[in-house]
Amino acid sequence: MEDATRSVLEATDAPIDAPVETLDVAAAGPPAPLRQTLEALPELADDVVLVQYNDRAPQHLYPKLDDRDYAYETVEQADATATVIWREQ
């Protein structure tokens, strides 16, 4: 796991020892980041943590994650915004 992703995970309540997938949607214009993230989540095992890198906090994604019972936290970084998404075990 990259150091940047590890530091993002350590800044959240996500399980640090879980498998991690990353999704970089920073260059994609709306609504692609929302769509790509929602399409990726069902493909992941329940123990996998998804780290979405974006150029802003994905405000429209949060209610959809709530509806699907995902936990999430957003971490602002100098060069990107990372939203960590996981299933509570």
Q: Is the CB of residue 47 less than 8 Å from the CB of residue 16?
A: no
pLDDT for 19-37, tens place per residue? 999 999 999 999 999 999 9
Q: Show the tokens assigned to 71.
A: 């936990």
Partner residues linked to 54 by β-bridges: 81
Q: Is the CB of residue 12 less than 8 Å from the CB of residue 73?
A: yes
Domain ranges of the chain: 3-86
pLDDT for 47-75, tens place per residue? 999 999 999 999 999 999 999 999 999 99
**Which of 8, 70, 6, 16 lies closest to 38, judged by CA?**
70
Just give the CATH number of 3-86: 3.30.110.40
Residue with tokens 């150029």: 55
